[in-house]
Each structure stands twice: as structure tokens, then as C-alpha cells.
Amino acid sequence: MFDALSHLYTSTAPRAALEAGRAAGVHNVLLAGENEAGWSAQSALAGPSVHLAYGYHPWHTAGAIDAEILAAALPRLSEPVAIGEIGLDGSGRHRERLATQEAAFLAQLDLARQRDLPVVLHIVRAHGAALACVDRCQAPPGIVHGFSGSSEVAEEWLRRGFLLSFGHLVCNKQAKRARIAASQVPLERLLVESDSPGGFESPAGINQVLASLSSLRSEPVAVLMRETAANARRLLRLQP
């Protein structure tokens, strides 16, 4: 299995949590970035089954300067397979900083395009603006992580070549909108994530996500395990 998004480097015992994931069958993990301090911690965990994406998360952005800091840091970090998390968050108090977030997002999308790397997006209550940014930058496709939008919004991302990643939200029966979207995404565009240590404690949590997805869709768990892992490998250009 492939966990398409984790921040385990922020936990106190990341190696133990990665091991717990492996014991539960999760052999590959994408560690997505948040800020400069986290990038070094991520880089230290790199390995054949631990893949890296660096970026300034929308909660931690300072503006366009973020892309310059990231570009300058890349040579001293383990090789990334993607740029992220980057994006826009229009929920709660984050909404006031949307202009700053957008400047950082555009600059980092541009960096991804220059480096020809896929992007890992965090988009909450800002899908229209985020789609406009992606169109403007002609950024390479990637992953919309923790997807919680409607089927109509999902369709817009799919049209642009993106994959949609689902996490703990689809295990919650109240999360009707996300569960409907998850039931409709074409199999070849579907990913699963633990968002550990926030969503689940370890990558092992994607077993629960896969079970929920199987109950919402027509495929058995084994097929979802195999295909979501193949999708992640294809997008991140990893050897099969």
C-alpha cells in the first residue's frame, strides 16, 4: 500500500510510526512539507520507501519569498518527488491571509513547473481561486490531498489531470459530500492518505480509509490497495 500523504516527521517517534505502517502493509509513504524546519526533518527520513515533497504549507506562508527560500534549500535536501504541500486555505482565521497565501502558491507552482515536479495541494474552501492559479501557472498536475469538495469541484481537478487523495474524512458517515465525491472518482485517479500524525497516528490508518472506500465503491479492498499504490507510483514517477 502507498500512503499518499503524511507529516510523520513532526511526530516524536517517526521511525516507529513508519514501522507500524510497514507492519500493517503500508510500504510506501509520501512525506509532504510544511515549512523550512520540517524539510530538514523530512530529508533525514528519506529512503527507498519514504518519498519527499517540500513546500510552504498555506498556514505557514510569508508570500512569494517562500519559493526563493525553497529553491535555495533544495540542493542540501534529499531529492524530492514533488513540491508540496502548497495551496490555499480559506477556512476560519486562515481566510484573512488569502492574498499572502496566493502569492506563495503562485510562486511555488511556478517553481514546480520549472523543475518539472508534480504538486501536492492543500485546498480548503478556496477551490475556485486555486484552480485559477493552476491554470495561470500552467503547473504540472499532482495530488489534491484530503479532498473534501463536491463532485463538481472534483470534476474540475480531474479535467486538469489531478489525482484526488482521500483520508480519515471518508470514514466519517457525516461527511456526505466527500463520500459522494470519493465514490465517483475514476479508479485510476484515486489515492489514499493517513495525514499522520494528525489524521491517523501512523500510515496503518489507510487500511480504514480503503475499507470505507470499498464500501462506497464497487471495487474490493485488494483492488483499491493495488491500484491506489500504482497511481501514486505513476504520478511520482517511481519505479514499479
Q: Residue 133, exposed/middle/buried by CB under 10 A (0-12, 13-18, 19+)?
A: buried
User: Which of these segments, 77-85, 111-119, 180-188, 223-231, binds Zn ion (CB under 5 A)?
Assistant: 77-85
What is the Cα–Cα distance from 166 to 25, expressed in whole angstroms? 18
Q: Are 84 and 53 in contact (CB under 8 A)?
A: yes
Q: Residue 222, exposed/middle/buried by CB under 10 A (0-12, 13-18, 19+)?
A: exposed
What x-and-dash track marks residues 97-126 binding Zn ion by CB under 5 A? -------------------------x----
| Count of residues touching Zn ion (by CB under 5 A) | 2
Q: Which is nearer to Zn ion, 49 or 59 (CB)?
A: 59
Place of cell 505502517: 21
Least Å from the CB of residue 122 to Zn ion: 3
3 state SS of 131: helix
Least Å from the CB of residue 33 to Zn ion: 10
User: Which of these segments, 85-93, 102-110, 113-121, 216-224, binds Zn ion (CB under 5 A)?
Assistant: 85-93
- Residue 189 touches Zn ion, criterion: CB under 5 A: no
User: Which of these segments, 8-16, 80-88, 93-101, 109-117, binds Zn ion (CB under 5 A)?
Assistant: 80-88
Least Å from the CB of residue 218 to Zn ion: 28
- Residue 174 φ then ψ, to 5°: -75, -20
Q: Which is nearer to Zn ion, 51 or 122 (CB)?
A: 122
Q: Can you point out the beta strands (E) in the chain?
A: 2-6, 28-32, 50-54, 82-89, 119-124, 142-144, 163-166, 190-192
What is the Cα–Cα distance from 226 to 228, expressed in whole angstroms? 6
Q: Which is nearer to Zn ion, 23 or 37 (CB)?
A: 37
Q: Which is nearer to Zn ion, 3 or 85 (CB)?
A: 85
Least Å from the CB of residue 144 to Zn ion: 10
Q: Which residues bind Zn ion (CB under 5 A)?
A: 85, 122
